Chain A
Amino acid sequence: MIELTGLTKRYGSTTAVDRLTFTVRPGVVTGFLGPNGAGKSTTMRMIMGLDRPTSGNVLVDGTHYARLKEPLTKVGALLEARSVQGGRTAYHHLLWLAKSNGIPEHRVDEVLGLVGLTQVARKRPSGFSLGMGQRLGIAAALLGDPRILMFDEPVNGLDPEGIHWIRNLMKQLAAEGRTVFVSSHLMSEMALTADHLVVIGRGQLLADMSMADFINQNSRSYVRVRTPEPERLRDVLTAGGVHLVDGPDGTLEAEGADAATIGELVAADGVVLHELSPQQASLEEAFMRLTAQTVQYQAAPGTAAGAGWAPPPGPDWRQPPQVAEPAGSVDVSKKEGI
């Protein structure tokens, strides 16, 4: 259990983390989602007592991290940047960690085996690939067999096999009743792993709900319509009570009616359709809409996608990011003057 209450971190005039209040519960994988620069890593460092909060409070299992006598047996963390000295072998890195918390030495070999690094245990991490470094970090997190685990961007640098492995590992750890808190800037990754979501943007809490609720609330469904007679179609559908918004490439998106209803409406007036297809906006899109106004490093409209994340896999990724619109409700009708 990790409890944050009004947690705030300011650097001068910049507020990196802004009054965050939420609880990370055991038994499920909690995804910590936000664009780059949203304050995820800062929040995690404050949980670990590495950064001092400007105000607010954070407790792990009811105590401040700094009060823990054997913290590695309570909380295991993979922090974003590599935290290993390149000249000390993987085995010795884990050994000093184990000794500092009174963890038996045989546990070092166990976790090395668990993450698949037994072969390179006596090698220096300076020669490790990004993925091997990530595995060593995960081994360090698991060393004390802790009930709380935090992973900051764990899939960074991992190959597909490694990504698959870490997904299963996190699910397994949660199934064992542990608290698993994992950050990512990729919604698509979280959708496959997390049961619960905490979304932040510019340091502020945007959502704290189950993955299912997030999908229901944020994933817009609509019917895509393409026609050579947009004006007629607009008249017909508006008269039929269907709300239309402009899509990319001259398509129209109809909300509030299913494909059958729309088909029957336009057939009655003989409007020609080139396309009529039900669409479900991807979670990536929902996430981008939610965080759009809080993205710190935004690419100029017209480029492929907002800086800091990969283009979402949805069909509409070419659409420029909605910069100024309020999150969640892009009201295109104003632009159309209807």
Chain B
Amino acid sequence: MAQLTRVLSSEWTKIKTVRSTVWTLALTFLLTVVIGVGLCLLIRFLIPAEDRGVFDPTFTSFGGIGMGQLAVICFGVLVVTSEYSSGMIRASLAAVPQRGLFMGAKAIVAVGVALAVGLVTAFVSFFLGQLALGSELNASIGEPGVLRAVVGAGVYLALMAALSMGVAWLLRTPMLSFGVLIPLFFLVSGILSIVPHVQDVAQFLPDQAGAAIMAAGDMGEFGGIDRAYGPWGGLLIMVLWVAAALAAGYATLRSRDA
């Protein structure tokens, strides 16, 4: 236990003493909030009510999270791969040879930081977004499912960071990790989720499933997909993806030479 405390404090020192932490997380906040508020204004002033489809004001205020998640992916990837690209992994494992402890402490610290930033981002996005939507369209935090959706949006960002870390432990280099994660979540997942029939499978991708938690209502037919899960089911699917990525990352870290 004493050792865990020490390693946590060491990982905390690491994460707060590099600039990439600040800029990736600042970017996560800015992209999510600015794009979310922009979309809310767009919907309020430019899109007539009949064209809005299934409209969930809470979910709409998280419209920027698709971009914001890219920055949080950068954060997760860099936290891990900077160890390898700099050779610091050797110093880290020399200091903490118990690899599970090392990886666990890093995950707790980084995901904890991402969760804190994610929650702030989610609440600011929600309140500014509702302000932008105006009193006719907006939701209040007290309505059913709204608080769950807002906290869920913060959790979603933290889970994205965790997923990226798992992939980064597996692939080790920033180029490979970005090469897999960014196209997947920036393009592929979004495209697949609107292709008929393919979307029946694509809805189980981590970001598609995890996004369900961000809607106040049961997303039901949101986006034209007949989803097989509700908000909690979607979150569970995402958690399973994260667990799989971290397990694969741990297996790599444990077995391969540093």
A: residues with CB less than 8 A from B are 45, 48-52, 65-69, 71-72, 75, 77, 79, 81-89, 92, 95-97, 99-102, 140
In the assembled complex, the Cα of A71 lies from the Cα of B89 at a distance in Å of 15
Q: Are B94 and A72 touching (Cβ within 8 A)?
A: yes
Neighbour of A83 across the interface among B9, B18, B88, B98, CB < 8 A: B88
Interface centre among B10, B82, B255 (most CB of A within 10 A): B10
Q: Are B96 and A100 touching (Cβ within 8 A)?
A: yes
- Is B91 part of the contact surface with A, judged by Cβ < 8 Å? yes
Q: Are A66 and B17 touching (Cβ within 8 A)?
A: no
Instruction: Select from chain B the residue with minimum beta-carbon distance to A91.
Output: B17
A-B CB pair tally, cutoff 8 Å? 92
Q: Which B residues are CB-close (under 8 A) to A97? A: 10, 91, 95
Q: Which A residues are CB-close (under 8 A) to B10? A: 96-97, 99-100
Q: Are B93 and A87 touching (Cβ within 8 A)?
A: no
10 smallest beta-carbon distances between A and B, as pairs: A100-B10, A92-B17, A96-B13, A85-B86, A51-B257, A83-B91, A99-B10, A66-B97, A100-B95, A50-B258
B: residues with CB less than 8 A from A are 2-3, 6-7, 9-11, 13-14, 17-20, 82-83, 86-98, 255, 257-258
Q: Are A85 and B258 touching (Cβ within 8 A)?
A: no
Q: Which B residues are CB-close (under 8 A) to A89? A: 17
In the assembled complex, the Cα of A50 lies from the Cα of B91 at a distance in Å of 10
Neighbour of B13 across the interface among A45, A49, A99, CB < 8 A: A99
In the assembled complex, the Cα of A68 lies from the Cα of B7 at a distance in Å of 14
Q: Are A101 and B95 touching (Cβ within 8 A)?
A: yes
Neighbour of A96 across the interface among B17, B90, B93, CB < 8 A: B17
Instruction: Select from chain A the residue with minimum beta-carbon distance to B86.
Output: A85
Q: How far is the CB of A259 from chain B (nearest CB, A)?
A: 53
Interface centre among B18, B19, B20, B86 (most CB of A within 10 A): B86
Q: Are B14 and A96 touching (Cβ within 8 A)?
A: yes
List 7 contacting pairs A-B, 8 Å CB cutoff, sorted by A: A48-B97, A50-B257, A79-B91, A79-B94, A84-B91, A87-B19, A89-B17
Q: How far is the CB of B186 from chain A (nearest CB, A)?
A: 26
Q: Which B residues are CB-close (under 8 A) to A101? A: 6, 95
Q: Are A68 and B17 touching (Cβ within 8 A)?
A: no
In the complex, besides A49-B97, A83-B86, A101-B95, 6 extra interface pairs with C-beta distance below 8 angstroms are: A49-B93, A49-B94, A66-B98, A72-B94, A95-B17, A96-B11
Q: Which A residues are CB-close (under 8 A) to B17? A: 88-89, 92, 95-96
| A92-B13, A96-B13 given; A79·B90 CB < 8 A | yes
Instruction: Select from chain A the residue with minimum beta-carbon distance to B7.
Output: A100
In the assembled complex, the Cα of A77 lies from the Cα of B97 at a distance in Å of 13
